[in-house]
Structure 1
Amino acid sequence: MNLRLNLIFILITAITITLLSRVYFLSIKSNTYYEELSKNNYINRINKVPIRGIIEDRNGEKLAINEMGFAILIKPHLSSFKHKEQLEEIVDLIIKHFPEYEKDKLIKEYKRNDSSYNHEFIKIIDYIPYETFFPKYTVLASQEDIKIESSTKRFYPQKEVASHVIGYVGKASKLDILNNELSSYNGIIGKNGLEKYYNSKLQGEMGYKDVKVNALNQEIEVLAEKEPSTDNNIKISLDVNLQKYIQQIFTAKSGAVIVMDVNNGELLAAASFPEFDNNIFARGISVKEWNEMRNDFNHPFTNKIINGLYPPGSVIKMGVAISFLENGIKDNYTVNCSGSLTIGNRNFRCWKSIGHGTVNFRKAIAESCDDFFYKGSLKIGINKISHTLDKLGFGQQTGVDQINEFVGINPNKEWKEKKHNQPWYVGETVITSIGQGNMLTTPLQIARYTGYIATGKLPKPHFYKANYEEPKDLNTPFEYLDIMRKGMYDVSYAQRGTARRYIKSKVTIASKTGTAQVISIPQSEKVRMKESELKYYQRSHAWITTYGPFKNPQYAVTVLVEHGGSGGEATGEIASKIYDKLYELGYITSTE
């Protein structure tokens, strides 16, 4: 009997506790939840979308701006057969005033975004210019089924100038919206270049207004308000007038030009050729335009400044020479260049078939003697060369404020083992020492390393002040750098300097030319074929990297001409004209 009473008592107690718990949950714990639901019934949040910031050059010239216009929206829930005629009448009215749009496409766009869960007006036309739309504003705005909103379109007033650097915006995808909520409100997001790298800064921060409304959705009171951010602009280091000038004098089909302040890494100009008009992406690129650009052998889509990978050829020789000195080769080291070096069954030729005679460090750079670097590289080996070049920034990103920067290849034994599962051969050391073989660099890596030779500090290239870093001191002895600088001076002005005939600037320039082969020359070829005799896409890439003025370095200028043939001939005049322009614009005040 007692056992039964105990069981009944326990059961009653359990039921009582369950009921009390439920009462507690409904009256206390869920109060906050239902209170929030209640608020939503009478408080509306109106989002305020910030205007995308503009991009200016260092002198205030506009590079990316917003053009004002209007968007057209249609009220939801008209996709059903019941409302088919109503929807068609609305679209017909729009097309009557804007006949350039197609009825079927507008209806398809509407239906794609309409659903029973959506209670917002549906945008079917993103942007119509202000001057085109304004005469029709009253007619359309008076329609209760149509909503007119202000809209902006990104515009690039400089068109193709600096297009790779500036980048462009495009319609935000579902993935973009997932990662960036604000893009769901303005519909666009940075897709490339500075537009993407600094998208968070340029798009700004949302504002809002919370208002209390009555049952008729009429505003009663403003409860809270925050304005969208307005400090969204960026001013970058580029000088668009200098950039335009470079565009004028660069008459080759493709390549890259970089002008960098060697003391702080500011990029005064950075051009990748061929360029393209960013406005075609902002408005929406056609299939025809896309295919034409995609099939162009000169690769206009590629930002060659950071994504072009090239054998550096002889412009790497100062870095290799520094490695020789750092690894025990004396500064009075000489070789006798007879025009070739035989290793096993292979003959490694110097570019000068009759040889350079007795060559020291300075002469090796001035006359670009390959044999000097062949023999020096055999003394210290590839791993030590690779280690020095790694310090100088090769095989790694420069850190410039651009997206998807390539690192290139700074090869060594470990790299080849991991990449190809093969041993390293001595012949590979020899060809790497003159910037051929597996070694690949970007033009910006070459410009940065040139800045180091000029100043003794490795700068971080950048376009916007937020990306500035103090240049790095790599502790290379002054006397080592001094040999490199004197050798580069001789490239421009010594009797047999490889750029002597092509450097014609009023500014004293230190330089190094390079000719980087894109096809190998057979060992059976006793006399090297002239570049002019090769088919265009088989010709070597032409380099020159420079700094000036020589005594007080301010700027590095690096020029790459794809398939340009001889380095100095294809690039020397371009570099010279750029220095004269820097002097004319007041960036360089002393010619010495």
Structure 2
Amino acid sequence: MKIKFILFIFIATWLALLVRVFMLSVESNTYYEKLSYDNTIKTEQIPPVRGEILDINNKPVAINELGFKVQLAPHLTLKKNQHIFDEEINNLLKLLPNLDKEKMIKNYKKADSYYNHNFIDIVDFVSYEEIMPVYSILNLREKINIVSSPKRFYPYNEVAAHSIGYVARANKSDIKDDKLQELIGYTGKSGIEKYYNTYLQGEAGKREIKVNANNQEIEELSSEPAVENRKLKLNIDIELQKYISSLFVKKSGAVVVMGLDGAILSASSFPEYDLNTFVAGISHEEWDRLSNSLEKPFTNKLVHGLYPPGSVIKTGLGLIYITAPEIGPNWGVYCTASMPLGKRVFRCWKKDGHGNTGITKAIRESCDDYFYKGSIQLGIKKMSDGLIRYGLGRKTGVDLPNEFIGTVPSREWKRKKYNKAWYIGETVNTSIGQGDFLTTPMQMAQFTALMATAKLPKPHFAKMIGDEEVKPEFEEVLDEDELRKLPIIQKAMYEVCNYPSGTATNYLSSKVKIAGKTGTAQVVGILQDIEERELEHEMEYYTRSHAWFATYGPYEDPKYVVLVMVEHGGHGGAAAGKIVSNIYNKLLEMGYIKK
């Protein structure tokens, strides 16, 4: 029995050894072969060059400035190599005296370790003009590596800043979402640069090289070029954009010039800021100055600015009124300048009232009383449902990141947000674009296009993505009755700008016949016991109303929407009429509108 046991142990041991030999020699062959290959063959990724952004006339608005980054060999901070490190740093400073010594040392030490065998970036960017005179000298030094490294540059500085956006260093969150950004080091942070980042940054190339034990290249085995320099052409005309910027000096707000197919010819948020300050990194002082400004220059007011629309929504609401069985096109009111409701009095802006008022006069002269009483007839549900159908309270779909949706108040909205009951006074406030009603300038531009053409276009900046043309998209939102009665609203909008009592007529000097609607959106409420309203220009600046003017033209053959919103500008026509006139005259001068 003892002999059998010893024999069993002997056979089992040999079987285990045979299995282990088999595993090492046959089964693990692939694993060790790959390990050996990785030790001798090195794969390098080739960073792609970011695509340029062009305006409608092929003028570059975001380009790559030619330059280089400086790299230093690893392991030079070891005690035995410290003298080499000091020598290389001093040589760089002699040849390129503008370099920051402390920053170079800090960058090197942060990346240097026993496990890193790659050259280390110590200078991110040196311009072509600066490095060319010394390039051949630096290239002869074994421990220094000069690598092509273009930097984003915005030739027009602050013009169209919020639309174009900027690139800056990729952070951990960016790299987590897109590993390519770890290789490139930069990513789109805002505007079009961010929205089209994946397209613009391209795809990395790859090369396989054979290296020796010291990580030195012996030969190149294969190479796959990067997919790069993808161009993006916009509908924006940068010259028009520059002109509009000159009209908004020392003003805050937003301007949208949009074709009725949704193509954005110009879009600005004011005040603007220089995009180039963010590429290399903005100083703490400049950041604090901009971020603490009450004008909020960092906010893209086109899609992130939420404002009460005021009387601008009276065009769409008027269409809802005249197509509703409860009201209809022939319904009217007698405006006495005030409407008692419960314990409140809702006043019209005109001290003496408007007298007999129908839909055309209500829009032309912006009679609040007509819309107050109409809202009581109709109710908040039909009002809010119709306005949402017309594009408010939802995204326009514009190609900018993180677009806000705003608020069209309703019973359901209030219950969901505050868990409170709805009051009829809130319906009345909503009818003149006040209360909790909030919209973005981009939404109001789209809304105005609907009033002009009966179609809701999708706003878009991009004209050509590579060789692919961006096709216009429309949403059909009006029913047959609304389509039949829309000309009533369009005629009223024409009279706003051309009739003697129109709210915009006296403020216009446009050579183009236009239609539109002014709006004055209150920032602070007016107390019930105040009978004489304080004039806007007499109020403290930040308590003045926002001024809206939404237009389209030419009236006979509509081509463009021009929307202007001036923060704390007061009356819409007075604050924005001249700006709107100048923009239409410029469109005429530039040939966008034919005489």
The residue that corresponds to 1:294 in the other structure is 291
1:550 CA drift (Å)? 1.0
1:201 is matched by which residue type in structure 2?
Y
Taking the aligned partners of 2:8 and 2:456, their CA distance within structure 1 comes to: 80
Taking the aligned partners of 2:244 and 2:381, their CA distance within structure 1 comes to: 38
Q: Per the alignment, in what secondary structure is the counterpart of residue 203 of structure 2?
A: coil
Q: Contact 1:252/1:561 (CA < 8 Å) preserved in 2?
A: no
Alignment equivalent of 2:390, drawn from 392, 399, 403 = 392
1:448 CA drift (Å)? 0.3
1:216 CA drift (Å)? 7.5
Taking the aligned partners of 2:22 and 2:372, their CA distance within structure 1 comes to: 86
The residue that corresponds to 1:119 in the other structure is 117
Taking the aligned partners of 1:16 and 1:410, their CA distance within structure 2 comes to: 82
Q: Does 1:315 align with 2:320?
A: no
2:288 is matched by which residue type in structure 1?
N
Q: Is the deviation greater in 502-511 or in 17-26?
A: 17-26
Identity %: 50
Q: Does 1:285 align with 2:282?
A: yes
Summarize deviations over 1:14-44 as a string: whole Å, max 9, x none.
7777656545543444332222222223323
Summarize deviations over 1:328-367 as a string: whole Å, max 9, x none.
2211111111101110110000001211111111111111
Q: Rate the CA distance shift 1:176–1:14 in 2: closer, same or farther, 3 A.
A: farther
Q: Rate the CA distance shift 1:22–1:334 in 2: closer, same or farther, 3 A.
A: farther
Alignment equivalent of 2:473, drawn from 463, 470, 473 = 470
Q: Contact 1:318/1:484 (CA < 8 Å) preserved in 2?
A: yes
The residue that corresponds to 1:244 in the other structure is 242
Q: Contact 1:256/1:559 (CA < 8 Å) preserved in 2?
A: yes
Taking the aligned partners of 2:217 and 2:145, their CA distance within structure 1 comes to: 19
1:364 is matched by which residue type in structure 2?
A
Taking the aligned partners of 1:444 and 1:148, their CA distance within structure 2 comes to: 46
Summarize deviations over 1:439-463 as a string: whole Å, max 9, x none.
1100000000101111111000011
The residue that corresponds to 1:186 in the other structure is 184
1:307 is matched by which residue type in structure 2?
H
The residue that corresponds to 2:546 in the other structure is 541
Alignment equivalent of 1:562, drawn from 559, 563, 567 = 567
Summarize deviations over 1:185-217 as a string: whole Å, max 9, x none.
221111111111111111111112223456686
Q: Per the alignment, in what secondary structure is the counterpart of residue 506 of structure 2?
A: coil
Summarize deviations over 1:294-316 as a string: whole Å, max 9, x none.
12111111111111110000001
Q: Rate the CA distance shift 1:140–1:515 in 2: closer, same or farther, 3 A.
A: same
| TM-score, normalised with respect to structure 1 | 0.94
1:10 CA drift (Å)? 8.8
Q: Is the deviation greater in 280-289 or in 10-19?
A: 10-19
Q: Does 1:527 align with 2:527?
A: no
1:480 CA drift (Å)? 2.6
Q: Contact 1:257/1:272 (CA < 8 Å) preserved in 2?
A: yes
Q: Per the alignment, in what secondary structure is the counterpart of residue 516 of structure 2?
A: strand
Q: Contact 2:211/2:218 (CA < 8 Å) preserved in 1?
A: yes
The residue that corresponds to 1:406 in the other structure is 404
Q: Rate the CA distance shift 1:552–1:14 in 2: closer, same or farther, 3 A.
A: farther
Taking the aligned partners of 1:495 and 1:9, their CA distance within structure 2 comes to: 118
Alignment equivalent of 1:582, drawn from 582, 587, 593 = 587
1:98 is matched by which residue type in structure 2?
L
Taking the aligned partners of 1:8 and 1:525, their CA distance within structure 2 comes to: 111
Taking the aligned partners of 2:167 and 2:207, their CA distance within structure 1 comes to: 28
Taking the aligned partners of 1:22 and 1:91, their CA distance within structure 2 comes to: 53
Q: Rate the CA distance shift 1:454–1:15 in 2: closer, same or farther, 3 A.
A: farther
Summarize deviations over 1:520-575 as a string: whole Å, max 9, x none.
11111101110011011111000000011112111100000001011101101111
Taking the aligned partners of 1:77 and 1:20, their CA distance within structure 2 comes to: 44
Q: Does 1:195 align with 2:201?
A: no
Taking the aligned partners of 1:571 and 1:160, their CA distance within structure 2 comes to: 22
Taking the aligned partners of 1:381 and 1:482, their CA distance within structure 2 comes to: 24
Taking the aligned partners of 1:74 and 1:219, their CA distance within structure 2 comes to: 16
The residue that corresponds to 1:143 in the other structure is 141
Q: Contact 2:66/2:150 (CA < 8 Å) preserved in 1?
A: yes
The residue that corresponds to 2:230 in the other structure is 232
1:175 CA drift (Å)? 2.4
Q: Does 1:479 align with 2:492?
A: no
The residue that corresponds to 2:33 in the other structure is 35
Taking the aligned partners of 1:47 and 1:140, their CA distance within structure 2 comes to: 24
Q: Rate the CA distance shift 1:504–1:13 in 2: closer, same or farther, 3 A.
A: farther
Q: Per the alignment, in what secondary structure is the counterpart of residue 66 of structure 2?
A: strand
Q: Contact 2:162/2:300 (CA < 8 Å) preserved in 1?
A: yes
Matched positions, count = 587
Q: Rate the CA distance shift 1:540–1:218 in 2: closer, same or farther, 3 A.
A: closer
Taking the aligned partners of 1:29 and 1:509, their CA distance within structure 2 comes to: 81
Alignment equivalent of 2:519, drawn from 514, 533, 549 = 514
Q: Rate the CA distance shift 1:227–1:105 in 2: closer, same or farther, 3 A.
A: closer
Q: Is the deviation greater in 437-446 or in 283-292?
A: 283-292
1:290 CA drift (Å)? 0.8
2:320 is matched by which residue type in structure 1?
S
Q: Does 1:49 align with 2:52?
A: no
Q: Contact 1:254/1:298 (CA < 8 Å) preserved in 2?
A: yes
Q: Rate the CA distance shift 1:89–1:379 in 2: closer, same or farther, 3 A.
A: same
Which stretches in structure 1 are left out of the alignment for 5+ residues? none
The residue that corresponds to 1:169 in the other structure is 167
Taking the aligned partners of 2:558 and 2:408, their CA distance within structure 1 comes to: 27
The residue that corresponds to 1:104 in the other structure is 102
1:86 CA drift (Å)? 3.0
Which stretches in structure 2 are left out of the alignment for 5+ residues? none
1:287 is matched by which residue type in structure 2?
H
Alignment equivalent of 1:276, drawn from 264, 273, 277 = 273
Taking the aligned partners of 1:411 and 1:588, their CA distance within structure 2 comes to: 38
Q: Per the alignment, in what secondary structure is the counterpart of residue 133 of structure 1?
A: helix
Q: Contact 1:460/1:468 (CA < 8 Å) preserved in 2?
A: no
Q: Rate the CA distance shift 1:13–1:175 in 2: closer, same or farther, 3 A.
A: farther
The residue that corresponds to 2:441 in the other structure is 443
Taking the aligned partners of 2:100 and 2:589, their CA distance within structure 1 comes to: 53
Q: Contact 2:52/2:229 (CA < 8 Å) preserved in 1?
A: no
Taking the aligned partners of 2:557 and 2:418, their CA distance within structure 1 comes to: 45
Q: Per the alignment, in what secondary structure is the counterpart of residue 501 of structure 1?
A: helix
Taking the aligned partners of 2:568 and 2:272, their CA distance within structure 1 comes to: 17
2:376 is matched by which residue type in structure 1?
L
Q: Is the deviation greater in 543-552 or in 74-83?
A: 74-83
Q: Rate the CA distance shift 1:87–1:348 in 2: closer, same or farther, 3 A.
A: same
Q: Is the deviation greater in 114-123 or in 321-330?
A: 321-330
Q: Is the deviation greater in 65-74 or in 169-178?
A: 169-178
Q: Rate the CA distance shift 1:534–1:142 in 2: closer, same or farther, 3 A.
A: same
1:247 is matched by which residue type in structure 2?
S
Q: Rate the CA distance shift 1:388–1:13 in 2: closer, same or farther, 3 A.
A: farther
Q: CA RMSD in A?
A: 2.2
1:283 CA drift (Å)? 2.0
| TM-score, normalised with respect to structure 2 | 0.94
Q: Contact 2:313/2:433 (CA < 8 Å) preserved in 1?
A: yes
Q: Does 1:427 align with 2:430?
A: no
